[in-house]
Amino acid sequence: MIGVYVHIPFCISKCAYCDFPSYSGCESLYEEYIQAVCREIETYQGERHADTIYFGGGTPSLLPVALLEKVLVCLRHQFIVSEDAEITVEANPDSLTLDMCRQLATIGVNRLSVGVQSFQDDVLRYLGRPHTGKMAYQLFEGIPKTGITNISLDLMYGLPEQTVEMFQQDIEMIPTIPVTHASIYSLIVEEHTLLYRQVQQGSILLPMEETVEQMKTILFSKMAEWGFYHYEISSYAKENYESIHNSKYWKYLPYIGFGAAAHSFDGRRRWENVRSIAQYIRYSNQDKCIFHQFEVSPQQGMEDFCYLALRMQRGISYQAFYKQFQTNIEDEFGKEIERLCTQGLLEKTQDGVCLSDLGLAYGNYVFSQFIRVSS
């Protein structure tokens, strides 16, 4: 089964921290863009059985539901979509209404991923987010009544002017709202963003590293207390509510992306579509959407498999590694694994290794040990 990703690159405005390919002020292009996405879908020649569809962005909830439905109709015509497929739409509190949720449920959407980032209005202003904490809370209260009960929340920590107390207030909203999943990320200040320039100029201060570590400690403890399973570095889920689509990325499974800047992986090749909306619309008529593609070498595949698997709590399965690459992981990364276990960063499981509690704190270092410069 393949996962299908559809990129909707439109936003009300660019958030200060955002490095994703997204554009504001393009309302006149919505319909033309969706027509281009459908043309790309119609030319697809690969695996036909799909069990996840994910509308990401950008802000998919900016589009009229009729346009999202048009894409779903096209996908169901081109793919054999499982009856119980997970169909997710990313949304923001300022563009998602309860009436829209009802319409989304009617066309088959059964999961929402809502980008709140914080319930603190001061923090939201620093991030350039147009909603308020109250708007977000009221939205979550109403969504289950519309027929969608699989609801994910996005939060961030390490944010400008954010204190430990403010972050604790944010996460303590979680047990008061009907969410089944939470993605909670530490802020990464990406170059070429407004926030990066503000930090470089000293006009915005970020929390100290010790403060961020305190936030992380509280996060791990509270989410476990509230019955959320920490199944991936930044992801928490109630039982049976893990993100099936996102898990495909971490499990080295195939996925196909449609839309500007969408990425795809078929097990052997990775490719990326052109990023420019105008170019994408123009090229979709000529079957020339792909901007860059490359074959994944066996060595690179093994590296990708390992560091992606280690993002998940279950870690690397030696049996799954052998099934994928027809070689034993000990022959490829035995020295690295033993050293990381000795350092207390990995621990052995029944069928492999996973990050230890210490390894969670030094994940990027652990991942780097599976990537060889010469590859």
Q: Give the model's confidence band at 286: pLDDT under 50 very low, under 70 low, under 90 confident, else very high.
A: low
Q: Are residues 139 and 62 in the same domain?
A: yes
In terms of pLDDT, which residue wins out, 334 or 203?
334
For residue 267, being part of any structural domain is answered with no
**14: CB partners within 8 A, 6+ apart:** 22, 24, 128, 194
Once rounded to an integer, what is the mean pLDDT over residues 355-370?
Answer: 94
Quick check: 215 and 157 in contact, CB under 8 A? yes
pLDDT of residue 289: 81
Q: Are residues 170 and 56 in the same domain?
A: yes
CA 363 remoteness from chain centre: 18
pLDDT of residue 26: 80
Q: Are residues 232 and 302 in the same domain?
A: no
pLDDT of residue 24: 72
Q: Give the model's confidence band at 21: pLDDT under 50 very low, under 70 low, under 90 confident, else very high.
A: low
Q: Are residues 243 and 312 in the same domain?
A: no
* Percent of the chain clearing pLDDT 90 (strictly above): 82
Residue 156: strand, helix, or coil: strand
In terms of residue numbers, what domain contains 341? 298-369
Q: Give the model's confidence band at 373: pLDDT under 50 very low, under 70 low, under 90 confident, else very high.
A: low
Q: Are residues 36 and 138 in the same domain?
A: yes
Q: What is the pTM of this model?
A: 0.94
Q: Are residues 232 and 310 in the same domain?
A: no
- Report CA Rg, the chain: 21
CA proximity to 315, closest of 305, 323, 325:
305
DSSP 80-140: EEEEEEEEEEEE-TTT--HHHHHHHHHTT--EEEEEEE-S-HHHHHHHT----HHHHHHHH
pLDDT of residue 375: 42
Tell me which of 184, 215, 249 is where a domain ends.
249
First-to-last C-alpha distance (Å) of the chain: 29
Q: Which pairing describes strands 49-57 and 2-8: parallel, antiparallel, or unpaired?
A: parallel
CA 272 remoteness from chain centre: 17
Tell me which of 229, 249, 269 is where a domain ends.
249
pLDDT digits (tens, 9 = 90+) for 25-50: 788 999 999 999 999 999 998 889 99
Whether residue 189 is predicted with pLDDT greater than 90 in this model: the reply is: no
Q: Give the model's confidence band at 91: pLDDT under 50 very low, under 70 low, under 90 confident, else very high.
A: very high
Q: Which CATH number fits the domain that encloses residue 319? A: 1.10.10.920
| Tokens 């992380």 sit on residue | 216
For residue 262, being part of any structural domain is answered with no
Alpha helices for 310-362 (secondary structure H): 318-325, 329-342, 357-361
Whether residue 374 is predicted with pLDDT greater than 50 in this model: the reply is: no
Q: Are residues 124 and 211 in the same domain?
A: yes
Q: Are residues 219 and 358 in the same domain?
A: no
For residue 24, being part of any structural domain is answered with yes
Q: Are residues 184 and 324 in the same domain?
A: no
Whether residue 60 is predicted with pLDDT greater than 70 in this model: the reply is: yes
CA distances from 175 to 25, 143, 191 (A): 36, 15, 35
For residue 355, being part of any structural domain is answered with yes
Whether residue 357 is predicted with pLDDT greater than 60 in this model: the reply is: yes
Structure tokens at 67: 């346009």
Quick check: 288 and 299 in contact, CB under 8 A? no
Once rounded to an integer, what is the mean pLDDT over residues 101-119?
Answer: 98
For residue 312, being part of any structural domain is answered with yes
For residue 30, being part of any structural domain is answered with yes
Q: Are residues 302 and 242 in the same domain?
A: no
Q: Are residues 243 and 330 in the same domain?
A: no
Q: Are residues 240 and 307 in the same domain?
A: no
Q: Which CATH number fits the domain that encloses residue 127? A: 3.20.20.70
For 300-319, letters b (16+ CB in 10 Å) and e give: ebbbbbbbbbbbbebbbbbe
Q: Give the model's confidence band at 56: pLDDT under 50 very low, under 70 low, under 90 confident, else very high.
A: very high
Q: What kind and span of H or E run contains 281?
A: helix 277-284
Q: Which pairing describes strands 10-11 and 23-24: parallel, antiparallel, or unpaired?
A: parallel
For the chain, what is the total number of helices (H) and then of strands (E)?
15, 17
Task: Provide the number of structural domains found in the chain.
Answer: 2
For residue 271, being part of any structural domain is answered with no
For residue 320, being part of any structural domain is answered with yes
Whether residue 18 is predicted with pLDDT greater than 80 in this model: the reply is: no
What average pLDDT does the structure give for the chain?
Answer: 94
Tell me which of 209, 231, 249 is where a domain ends.
249
